[in-house]
Chain A
């Protein structure tokens, strides 16, 4: 067994989990909304890419590019017309509504696409690999990881260097006072969810090309995303990437020891971090 290889594969897998988690983290950080349908929305985006690839014969990356604005608009509308109505002092309505949405999405996908496992064909890219010293890495896992870093860099730039990002943070701090500055919180929230759906689409591209998916796998992706966000500390995107890496490494090491332990090892790593650092590794100073 090559431990270096195992750990590297785990790190790269962590990139995928960070992509699952970044959108969740963004939405929670700005509007304290826990979107229980997040995993299912990833699956929706994966099916959208699949349809574009098989129906129009597009390259998966081009298909994802086409899907980005569609998913942005869908996220914007979902937030503006539905989820905004659930936000308030009570944390229960958004949980109930997104839980319901999760069930609706799963069943709609089952109706439309059946329960068959699907995969987005990516041609020769699926099996391509690069020799890196003593180990060999797959091109797709490497692209996934680099995409996760790119997504986090771009999100951080938006968050800390633009007027939109200032409005995100100000609205998160104090919605009423942000209104006095001319911010319309409902639109800001809609834009945030739209951006989260862009990240979801990128996550879906790699989910769909790397592994099989079917309409019911969303909730499991949601759990990995949650764990990555909580390990990293709420509100820190780099922390989210580290959280994803910790789960990814734990899973591949667990699987290397005994294939039955893969999922369990990831969850155990999460529980250990939660015991030692209940607020995550990089909690925000202000909460």
Chain B
């Protein structure tokens, strides 16, 4: 349903992506792993429309969407949980969640109520400023906010960054329910462990290229190691 075809991306003269081919099928969860600077976040920003690309480089449900701005991409059903959470500081928790469906109001499993069911702590904190929450709770708001648009594709960029292992486990515990709701998911992580557990397939990136791709269960640790660091352990 979503694919990138020879995707390249630049920051000024610096080329961050060198022809990335990636595909996501309906109902699938794909993990993209790689070291810092491998181009994972650039890939997410390209798909979500924050970075403009060639029209044909990204296709979604048969249409070329590479050159659409972020607002048009989310309207088509691709929502992103951005790296670093990026909550709106002057909005309350509930207002942050309500922003999630600003550009795409469709009927679906995700409403304010079902997001609160998924993360009950947010209901207690609904009127608080989003900056007063712990890091893990802020990440829950960021995920809930993206779900509010009932996305066909959910992009999660480094959701475990800066969080304690026990908090990361709590957040990943929500993924089976998100998958069951029908969304296809792309998870970007530096931390391989959690991502491998929830993913059906894995792409490993290094220096702006895909170095390894395969089913999560089929890849050996050595192969991932080689693709991740570019050396054989």
Q: Which of A167, A169, A180 contacts B82 (CB 8 A)?
A: A180
Tell me if B88 and A182 are in contact (CB < 8 A): no
Tell me if B102 and A182 are in contact (CB < 8 A): yes
Q: Which of B64-105 contact A (CB under 8 A)?
A: 69-71, 74-75, 79-80, 82, 86, 88-91, 95, 98-104
Tell me if A182 and B82 are in contact (CB < 8 A): no
Tell me if B50 and A176 are in contact (CB < 8 A): yes
**Contact of A170 with B by CB under 8 A:** yes
Chain B residues with Cβ below 8 Å from A136 are: none
The interface size of chain A toward B, counting residues with CB under 8 Å, comes to 19
Given A166-B102, A182-B104, residue A174 in contact with residue B86 (CB < 8 A):
yes
Tell me if A180 and B69 are in contact (CB < 8 A): no
Given A166-B95, A179-B71, residue A173 in contact with residue B89 (CB < 8 A):
yes
Tell me if A286 and B71 are in contact (CB < 8 A): no
Given A166-B91, A166-B99, A182-B149, residue A177 in contact with residue B86 (CB < 8 A):
yes
**Contact of B201 with A by CB under 8 A:** no
**Contact of B152 with A by CB under 8 A:** no
B contacts with A: majority SS:
loop
**Contact of B136 with A by CB under 8 A:** no
Tell me if A179 and B88 are in contact (CB < 8 A): no
Distance of B95 from chain A, by nearest CB (Å): 5
| 14 A-B pairs whose Cβ atoms sit less than 8 Å apart in the complex | A163-B98, A166-B98, A169-B88, A170-B91, A170-B99, A176-B86, A177-B86, A181-B100, A181-B145, A181-B149, A182-B71, A183-B71, A284-B90, A286-B90
A residues near B (Cβ < 8 Å) are 163, 166-167, 169-170, 172-174, 176-184, 284, 286
Tell me if A167 and B86 are in contact (CB < 8 A): no
Chain B residues with Cβ below 8 Å from A183 are: 71, 99, 102-103
Given A180-B79, A181-B145, residue A170 in contact with residue B88 (CB < 8 A):
yes
A286 to B89, CA, bound (A): 8
Chain B residues with Cβ below 8 Å from A184 are: 69, 71
Closest to A163 in B: B102
Closest to B74 in A: A182
Closest to B50 in A: A176
Distance of A180 from chain B, by nearest CB (Å): 5
**Contact of B49 with A by CB under 8 A:** yes
Chain B residues with Cβ below 8 Å from A173 are: 88-91
**Contact of B48 with A by CB under 8 A:** yes
Given A169-B90, A170-B99, residue A179 in contact with residue B50 (CB < 8 A):
yes
Distance of B207 from chain A, by nearest CB (Å): 25
A1 to B92, CA, bound (A): 51
Distance of B50 from chain A, by nearest CB (Å): 6
